[in-house]
Amino acid sequence: MSNSGEPISTKDTEEVIMEATFRALSKHGYGDLRMRDIGEEMDLTRQVIHYHFDGKYDLLSSFLEYVIDQYEGSVEVDADADPRAELDARIDQCLFGPEFEEFGHWDRMKVYHELYVYAQNDPEHRDIFDAHYDRIQGSIVEVVEEGIEQGTFEPVDAERMGQFITDIIHAARGRRIALGHEDAPAETRRAIDEFVLDSLYADG
Amino acid sequence: MSNSGEPISTKDTEEVIMEATFRALSKHGYGDLRMRDIGEEMDLTRQVIHYHFDGKYDLLSSFLEYVIDQYEGSVEVDADADPRAELDARIDQCLFGPEFEEFGHWDRMKVYHELYVYAQNDPEHRDIFDAHYDRIQGSIVEVVEEGIEQGTFEPVDAERMGQFITDIIHAARGRRIALGHEDAPAETRRAIDEFVLDSLYADG
């Protein structure tokens, strides 16, 4: 229970629950997670969870959206950046991730990648991941199209390029998490530079 | 129970158990799988499983090796193929997969990708996946090195190229499975051709 005596807003309460879910998932994994595990990770009573969410599934769907929102919201790109600098920044942020106060990028990505595989059996989660994939791909397509328009990029198929870069980033993160290849993101960054971007740049 | 009356070899019995495990995993998923689910998928008594395997974990480790052996054993490459043709064949086999009698490539890959994510918490499974990753990467590195030596490929970093192609194949399969993007392997094949191989070929 909170001892501060001050009322807590719904938004704050939901964030407390979301961060407790993070901690509980990190300890117990997705398959074995129980509502009580989440309750044990927060100072509010467990009833608060049931007030805000209609069961474990509803909570986990909200949690997935929370993780994705944080991830997407953390991508900061300088508005004045030219297409080449912006593309670089987007790739780096997706590969290496931003800093968070409590759980780091890799704690978050670990949960994300676990839920990603489960999405094959879960239409609602699949839709959430699908929309996220579209947005990440779309943000890369946009900057590639801009570069092509400005003549600094070769006239490639921008949709396909966006898909390719989104996929390879996902694979590098997945390999770091599943196989423990700590260097996977850095290796992939070099490979993207040498094998893909080098031929994308019109002056390359 | 088998009614044929003929004795069954250890190798055959283990294959019967492995294929039963496939069916059980397809129905129940990894998280919820029980030994009895496997027993229900075969004509032999469940005691046979306990005779051959020391519990569920031992069985699933053997199963993972079985899936990987089948997958690697199925990659057929013409011994006389030039590096370009061999690289093409290897990429296609990994992306689109070989044909199997009962479960298809995607049924097998679905199980493979699910176990891959779990490997983060499982040193033994991680080692099995790691060794498999090395072999797939190694087979691509070898053909890239051959092409460089023959002068038909540009002098790229072959290790990095092998890693890059292995990763992008994994991502395409994962996207098809998790998000249901049926075209992911074909799209990725085109992207590899346009964005990577085109600049790998010395005459490109």
Measured between CA atoms, how close is A24 to chain B, in angstroms?
Answer: 15
* Same domain membership, residue A185 and residue A94: yes
Q: Which residue of B has its CA nearest to A162?
A: B191
Give the pTM: 0.89
Which chain A residues are Cβ-neighbours of B130 within 8 angstroms? 179
Which chain B residues are Cβ-neighbours of A194 within 8 angstroms? 156-157, 160
* Same domain membership, residue A90 and residue A149: yes
* Same domain membership, residue A169 and residue A129: yes
pLDDT at A140: 96
* Same domain membership, residue A82 and residue A47: no
Q: Is residue B28 part of a domain?
A: no
- Considering CB atoms only, which of A167, A179, A180 is closest to B171? A167
DSSP for A93-143?
Answer: HHHH----SSS-HHHHHHHHHHHHHHGGG-HHHHHHHHHHHHHHHHHHHHH
Q: Is residue A146 part of a domain?
A: yes
Mean pLDDT of B61-88: 86
CA dihedral B89, B92, B98, B99 (to 10 degrees): -120
SS3 content of chain A, % helix, strand, coil (to 5): 70, 0, 25
Q: Is residue A87 part of a domain?
A: yes
CATH number at residue A117: 1.10.357.10
Q: Is residue A24 part of a domain?
A: yes
Q: Is B201 helix (H, G, I), strand (E, B) or coil?
A: strand
* Same domain membership, residue A180 and residue A89: yes
CATH number at residue A19: 1.10.10
ipTM, interface predicted TM-score of the complex: 0.88
Rounded CA-CA distance B131/B138 in Å is 10
Query: For residue B156, what are the domain limits?
Result: 78-200
Q: Is A164's CB within 8 Å of B195's CB?
A: yes
pLDDT at A1: 44
Mean pLDDT of A2-22: 77
Q: Is residue A5 part of a domain?
A: no
pLDDT at A18: 93
Which chain B residues are Cβ-neighbours of A133 within 8 angstroms? 175, 179
The set of long-range contacts for B47-56, using a CB threshold of 8 Å and a minimum separation of 24, is B48/B13, B48/B17, B49/B17, B52/B10, B52/B13, B52/B14, B52/B17, B53/B17
Which chain A residues are Cβ-neighbours of B153 within 8 angstroms? none
* Same domain membership, residue A84 and residue A54: no
Mean pLDDT of B149-157: 96
Q: Which two tokens stand for residue A177?
A: 């998490």
Q: Is residue B46 part of a domain?
A: no
* Same domain membership, residue A192 and residue A100: yes
Averaged confidence pLDDT in chain B = 88
Q: Is residue B67 part of a domain?
A: no
Q: Is residue B43 part of a domain?
A: no
Residue B157 pLDDT > 90: yes
pLDDT at B111: 82
pLDDT at A142: 96
* Same domain membership, residue A50 and residue A96: no
> How many distinct structural domains can be found in chain B?
1
* Same domain membership, residue A191 and residue A103: yes
Mean pLDDT of A18-31: 85
